[in-house]
């Protein structure tokens, strides 16, 4: 497999790499590209991207070098050792701070910013068990879960009927980014859509 990866990545020309990169970051918040190119002079950021196998905008972009722990790549960013997906999020979107950076693609070494989203530590734990990476029960059976499956269904339904993420966060006592991850099916994926949007209730 590695032979194929190397061959394919080396045939991707610099301009196609750049096009794929731009197309991926293009879908993000305004100014992300500008930020990216303002900072590209930084030698660590340059070095970081030079080792990422940038492919199509929707493909997984794997880092080609560096130490790995449990599938996650590591990278020295000049100040500290950080995981590669976290570095990617920092360089293309924003500093994640105390938040965790999670994958929609469930591919730990992936650095495609389109496949990354922010979550709270609880989101991360739930995401981890629901993807089978920890030997624990799913969703509400996890000890740090504040929500029950029924709450998740209720949140998605009410969001669809127009309630804001902020209102729902207040009412259910969880962080607003968690509401966003729930309503966009980035976490609690094991609670199926049909159960959330069954037409049992109509909007007022
Ligand atoms: Zn990916």
Pairwise pLDDT comparison (13 vs 148), residue with the higher score? 148
The alpha carbon of 94 and the centre of ligand 1 are apart by a number of angstroms equal to 18
The phi and psi torsions of 124 (rounded to 5 degrees) equal -60, -45
Domain range annotation of the chain: 2-119, 139-196
pLDDT given for residue 127 in this prediction: 78
Residue 79: pLDDT band with limits 50, 70, 90: confident
3-state secondary structure 106-166: CCCCECCHHHEEEECHHHHHHHHHHCCCCCCCCHHHCCCCCCCHHHHHHHHHHHHCCCCHH
Return the pLDDT at 42.
67
CA of 114 to the centre of ligand 1 (A): 8
Render pLDDT for 8-55 as a digit per residue (tens, 0 to 9).
Answer: 444 556 666 666 666 666 555 445 555 555 455 467 887 888 888 888
Does position 6 have pLDDT exceeding 50, yes or no?
A: no
pLDDT at 65: 73
Ligand 1 centre to CA of 161 (Å) is 31
The Å distance, Cα 60 to ligand 1 centre, comes to: 4
Distance 57 CA to ligand 1 centre (A): 10
For residue 135 the two structure tokens come to 């030997």
Q: How far apart are CA 4 and CA 61, in angstroms?
A: 14
The chain-wide mean pLDDT, for the chain, equals 75
pLDDT at 101 over 90: yes
Highest mean pLDDT of the ranges 25-29, 80-84, 141-145: 80-84
DSSP state of 102: E
Ligand 1: centre distance to CA 68 (Å): 16
């Amino acid at each position: 497999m590695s032979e194929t990866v190397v061959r394919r990545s080396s045939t991707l020309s610099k301009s196609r790499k750049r096009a794929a990169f731009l197309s991926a970051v293009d879908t993000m918040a305004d100014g992300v590209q500008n930020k990216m190119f303002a900072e590209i002079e930084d030698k660590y950021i340059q070095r970081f991207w030079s080792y990422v196998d940038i492919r199509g905008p929707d493909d997984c972009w794997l880092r080609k070098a560096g130490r790995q722990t449990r599938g996650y790549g590591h990278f020295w960013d000049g100040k500290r050792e950080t995981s590669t997906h976290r570095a990617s999020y920092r360089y293309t979107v924003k500093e994640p701070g105390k938040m965790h950076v999670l994958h929609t693609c469930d591919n730990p070494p992936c650095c495609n910013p389109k496949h990354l989203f922010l979550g709270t530590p609880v989101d991360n734990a739930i995401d981890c068990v629901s993807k089978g990476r920890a030997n624990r029960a799913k969703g509400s059976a996890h000890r740090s879960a504040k929500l029950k499956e029924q709450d998740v269904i209720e949140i998605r339904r009410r969001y669809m009927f127009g309630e804001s993420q902020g209102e729902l966060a207040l009412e259910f006592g969880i962080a607003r980014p968690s509401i966003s991850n729930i309503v966009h099916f980035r976490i609690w994926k094991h609670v199926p859509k049909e159960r959330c949007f069954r037409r049992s209730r109509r909007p007022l």
